[in-house]
Amino acid sequence: MRTLLEFKHVSKQYGSETRALSDVNFAVKEGEFVSIIGPSGAGKSTLLRCINRMIDASSGEIVFDNASVLALNKNELKKLRTRIGMIFQHYNLVNRLSVIENVLHGRLGYKSTLAGVLGLYTKEEKAQAYRLLQVLGLQEQVYKRCDQLSGGQKQRVGIARALVQDPKMLLCDEPIASLDPNSSKVIMEHLRDICSKMGITVVVNLHQVDVAMNYSDRIVGVNKGTVVYDGPPAGLTKEKLRAIYGADYDKLTEEEGGRHVG
Amino acid sequence: MHANTNIPAKPFNKSSFVIRMTLLMLVALTLFGLLTFDYKDLVLSEAIRKTGDTLGTMLIEPHAKHFTFGEALGQVTITIGLAFLTTLFGAVIALFLALLTARNLSRPAVSLAIKSVVAFIRAVPTVLWVLIFAVAAGLGSVAAVIGMTFHSISYLVKAYSESIEELEDGVIEALRASGAGWWQIVFQAVLPSSISYIISWTFVRFEINFAVAVAMGAAAGAGGIGFDMFMASNFYFDIREIGFITYMILAFAILLELLARWIKRKLAVNA
């Protein structure tokens, strides 16, 4: 399998003091499902946003599909972003618009400014949006306003909006952090399917270690802006998890153990 | 503790003490003022009765002597026209400026620059702006339109940009991440989210502009019903005619309010 994304010595500095990422190196192969785990504030979100340059890395090199991301100009960056879909913890939909209008927003990057401003979508684009909503089980909700949907449904609209871009890669920033266990499972199954059936590479930021272990081909553990683990889920031993989550991990497992016993 | 010890129900509070003392002092000053006024020949009971009489004449026996009902209607239309035109100009220009002012769409420096200029314009009353522009354009409708538009812009830029800032940053981030451009984000996400606020604020300004337009007829010679009112009060001393004009203005103000409500309700259903 070909390498789709590669981080080479990437660092991100905020001001002169805070270092969000320092010397990050890892690669993602085409069609892989990679989870990034780590404690809050470890730099997971920053790392994800460096890929489509929602945040600009301070140094190093990021290669996506054989192009150096940091060297792209404004137009090339726009083109890059159309090929990377992104979904968010808080869904980030336009609540006052209908489901299908929100999904079609994923096509804006491909359109001329005027066509986008006026919301002129082609027949094929609308058909594609409808088809994706069907795949995600939202065919009943197509013309509903987004603020009438549940969290899980909103996240599926978010996924449809990303997929309608026809992306090579899907970036997911804490996609299930605001969802109940059932909706979380539905969303993770969909992401898994998107990866295995559509062949789209998926990179997910996750809080839940067990979910990451269940669904990923590979796990990248981040702590204080550095990669401390990069390997298969099976290789995540207790020692490795302690390296990712620090001393807190022991407390966490003790509490959980206690709860299960109780 | 003894039963007869004085325990305060509330501990001593400095700010409530200050407020109480201030109120006491205001009461004392008011009483002092009323007792020591130089009333000249004015008898209070007489004065109140006469004011009542005048208001009664004005509101119970309104008539139109110097113009017909049709003419008055035409004049009110001119006043509404002035209010409508300045609100429309103001709204269109303010919308574009608001896009550059809203913090989630603009650069901090640009936003701050527009905000401070607009705050300065807003601080000076509309009437004053009209009189300032009258220096260049002469007293009349031109100065009124420019001055009122000017103040409307500054008012609406603040109202619009704050409505736009209500939109979560995440929505804009999501569209930017999919490769959408600035104008596309504005028309596809920002405006659909804030259009009902924007229309609400525009109506509020329209009502303000209607009131200002009446005053402009009198103060700046902008024509309309305000000018008739000015003539009736300052030239003909005809209190009944003023009563007639007051009813006209009241009727139209109520009509505008009903129209605004109707449009807002329509929007609430469709949006």
Task: Please check whether the domain covering B68-270 is classified as CATH 1.10.3720.10.
Answer: yes
Q: Average pLDDT of B24-50?
A: 87
> pLDDT band for position B43 (50/70/90)?
confident
**B266 at A interface, C-beta within 8 A:** no
For chain B, domain boundaries: 14-58, 68-270
| Gyration radius (Cα) of chain B, Å | 26
Residues carrying CATH 3.40.50.300, chain A: 1-83+169-181+202-262
Residue of B170, B188, B271 with shortest CB distance to A119: B188
Which residues of chain A neighbour B171 with C-beta distances below 8 Å?
A: 92-94
Instruction: Report the range of poorest mean pLDDT among B192-201, B216-225, B238-247, B262-271.
Output: B262-271
Residue B68's pLDDT is what? 87
pLDDT, tens digit, 9 for 90 and up, residues A71-113: 999 999 999 999 999 999 999 999 999 999 999 999 999 999 9
Q: Which of B189, B133, B190, B135 is nearest to B160 (CA)?
A: B190
pLDDT at A29 over 50: yes
pLDDT at A44 over 80: yes
Give the pTM.
Answer: 0.82
Q: Average pLDDT of A164-192?
A: 94
- Asked if the Cβ–Cβ distance from B178 to A118 is below 8 Å, we say no
User: Can you state the angle between helices B191-219 and B225-234, rounded to 10 degrees?
Assistant: 30
pLDDT, tens digit, 9 for 90 and up, residues B183-225: 999 999 999 999 989 998 999 999 999 999 999 888 887 888 9
Residue of B171, B179, B187 with shortest CB distance to A81: B179
Residue B196's pLDDT is what? 87
Q: Average pLDDT of A41-56?
A: 92
With pLDDT > 70 as the criterion, what percentage of chain B qualifies?
97
pLDDT, tens digit, 9 for 90 and up, residues B66-105: 888 889 899 999 999 999 999 999 999 999 999 999 999 9
Which residues of chain B neighbour A113 with C-beta distances below 8 Å?
A: 181, 183-184
Q: Which of A161, A159, A147, A131 is nearest to A98 (CA)?
A: A147
Residue A204's pLDDT is what? 96
Sequence-distant contacts of B186-191: CB under 8 A, at least 24 apart: B186/A117, B186/B99, B186/B105, B187/A116, B187/A117, B187/A118, B187/A119, B188/A94, B188/A105, B188/A108, B188/A116, B188/A117, B188/A119, B189/A94, B189/A105, B190/B99, B190/B102, B190/B105, B190/B164
pLDDT at A256 over 80: no
Q: Which CATH architecture has domain A1-83+169-181+202-262?
A: 3-Layer(aba) Sandwich (3.40)
Residue A76 Cα distances to A30, A83, A162, B144, angstroms: 21, 11, 19, 50
